[in-house]
Amino acid sequence: MSAINRNTGLTEVDSAFARIEGREKWAIPWLESDWHYGLGTIQLHAGRMRRDASDALEYGCTGLMGLHWRTDILGPNISALAQAAWDQSWNTLSSSDKPRSLPVDDFYADWAQANFGLKEAGAIFTAIDGGNLQKAVQDGCPTGSLSPDKTPWDSLAPQFAFVNEFGKLRQQVQGAGNLSRFDYWLNMFKYHMALSQTRCSMGAKNPDDALKNWTVAYTSLLATVNTPGGLGMVVNMEVHPDWGPAVAGAVGKPFTKKYLGNPRIIVTPVRSVAAKGEELTIKIIALDKQPVKSVSIKFRPLGGKWQDLPAVHMTSAVFKAVLPSATEDFEYQVIAETSTGIKLNWPATAPEMNQTVIVME
C-alpha cells in the first residue's frame, strides 16, 4: 500500500498508514509542490522531509520515497529525505507535537560544508527553508505565473536580503568544485529574486525595468542549467503563456536572442554508469556570446592513457560525441575553446578530477 501526500505535499503523511497490517506500506512525500510554489522556482523543504520521514517511521511504514520532477535544485530536500531514512537521532517529538517543518540547523550546516566547504552558508539555507522563502510567482500548476504584482519592490526587498548575504560569502569558498556548486545556488537565488522584481515592475507598469529584471532572471537561470530539469525551467520561461509571453506583452517589444552570460559548458544528462559494451553518447552545449571554435573530449580507462575525440557540431551551440564501446571503468572531460581563445573545462574540477563512469555487466 502506498500513498502520495495530499495537497501536493502540504499535508502530512497520512496517519491511516498506522492502521494497515499484513502488507508493506510506502509513504511518498512530495519533494516539491507544483501547485503551491511552482516548478519554475526554488523550493527548499528539508524540514518538511524530516517531518514526513519521522511520521512514516512512527506509522510503521516499510519504505519511503520522494516524488519529484527536477534534480539539482532539490539537492537539499533529497539529501534530507535520504538521510532521514537511515538516521533520525534528531527525532524526539510525537507526530501530534511536530510542526509541519522540523528544525534543520544541523542538516544545513553539514550540507553546506559538504557542498561549499563553508559551514556558515548553512545558516542562510536554514533561514529560508520550510516556506520561509518569499514566493517569486503566483500559485498555479505546474509552474505558477508571473502575474503583475502591485506591491512596491522596496517593501519586498528585505525578504530577499539573503541573496546579497549569500553572495558576500563567495570570497571564502575554496576549490573549483565548491565554487561551482556555490555559484549554482548564488545564480539560482538571483534568478528567484529577479522573477519577483519582474512582477513588481509589471505591476508598476514600468516596461524598461520589467525587461531589465527579466533579462537578469533569464541569464541567471542559464548559468545554473546542468540537467534536463534545468532545461525544462528555461523552456518554461520561454513558452509558458504566463511567463515569457506575459512579460513580453508588458514590455511591448521582443527579447534579445543573444546569449548574455559567461561562457560555459553544459553536459546533460550526466551518466555515472554505463552498460558493458555501451557506446556512451555525450551531449554537450557550449554557450558563449559568439560560437565556440571547438569542442572535444579527453577520455581514458582509469589509470590509463588519455585519448582525444572531437565532438560533432549538431546545431546552434549543441555538440555530440560518442565514446568507444565501454569495456572497463573510465573517466572523461570536455574541453571547449571560445572565439576569443578562452579554454573551458567540464566538469569544473577537470583535469584534476574528471567525470567517472563505472561499467556494469
Domain termination residue (choose one: 104, 124, 142):
104
Is residue 135 in some structural domain? Answer: no
Say whether pLDDT at 160 is over 90: yes
Q: E strands along 25-65, which residues? A: 26-28, 63-64
Helix (H, G, I), strand (E, B) or coil at 197: helix
- Residues 102 and 17: beta-carbon distance below 8 Å: no
Which of residues 34 and 186 earns the better pLDDT score?
A: 186
Indicate the residue among 104, 124, 143 that finishes a domain: 104
In this prediction, residue 93 carries a pLDDT of 77
The boundaries of the domain holding residue 270 are 264-360
Is 22 a domain residue?
yes
Query: Could you tell me if 232 and 269 lie in one domain?
Result: no
- pLDDT of 37 reads 83
The predicted pLDDT at position 95 comes to 67
For residue 174, what pLDDT band results from cuts at 50, 70 and 90? very high
Report the chain's mean pLDDT, rounded to a whole number.
Answer: 95
Tens digit of each residue's pLDDT (9 = 90 or more) over 3-47: 999 999 999 999 999 999 999 999 999 999 988 888 999 999 999
* CATH number, domain with residue 298: 2.60.40.10
Would you state the cell numbers that stand for residue 111, as one nine-digit string? 550540507
Could you read off the pLDDT of 231-271 as tens digits, one per residue? 999 999 999 999 999 999 999 988 888 899 999 999 999 99
Q: What's 280's DSSP letter? A: P
Q: What is the mean pLDDT of the segment spanning 325-349?
A: 97
pLDDT of residue 154: 97
- 247 lies in a domain? yes
Q: Are 330 and 300 in contact (CB under 8 A)?
A: yes
CA 127/CA 134 separation, integer angstroms = 11
For 77-119, how does the pLDDT look when each residue is reduced to its tens digit (9 = 90+)?
999 999 999 999 998 877 678 899 999 999 999 999 999 999 9
272 domain-assigned: yes
Quick check: is 141 in a domain? no
| Amino acid (one-letter) located at 72 | D
Residue where a domain terminates, one of 251, 284, 307: 251
- 263-299 pLDDT, tens digit per residue, is 999 999 999 999 999 999 999 999 999 999 999 999 9
> Does some domain include residue 128?
no
Contact at 8 Å (CB) between 302 and 252?
A: no
Residues 157, 245 within the same domain? yes
The Cα-based distances of 208 to 146, 155, 242, 247 in angstroms read 16, 20, 19, 11
Q: pLDDT of 48-76, one tens digit each? A: 999 999 999 999 999 999 999 999 999 99
Q: How far apart are CA 55 and CA 48, in angstroms?
A: 11
DSSP category for residue 30: B
Q: pTM higher than 0.85 for the full model? A: yes
Who's near 186: CB < 8 A, 6+ residues apart?
163, 166, 167, 170
Query: Residue 92's pLDDT is what?
Result: 83
Which one, of 89, 112, 225, 222, lies nearest residue 172 by Cα?
112
271 and 228 in a common domain:
no
Are residues 6 and 100 located together in one domain of the fold? yes
The total number of structural domains that make up the chain: 3
Domain check: are 235 and 270 in the same one?
no
Residue 210 within a domain: yes
Q: How many CA atoms lie within 13 A of 352 on its CB side?
A: 5
CA distances from 357 to 5, 93, 160, 177 (A): 35, 43, 39, 18
The values of phi and psi at residue 355, to 5°, are -80, 120
> For residues 288 and 331, is the Cβ–Cβ distance under 8 A?
no
224 and 286 part of one domain? no
Is 46 part of a structural domain of the chain?
yes
- Say if residue 361's pLDDT is above 80: yes
- Check: CB of residue 29 under 8 Å from CB of residue 102: no
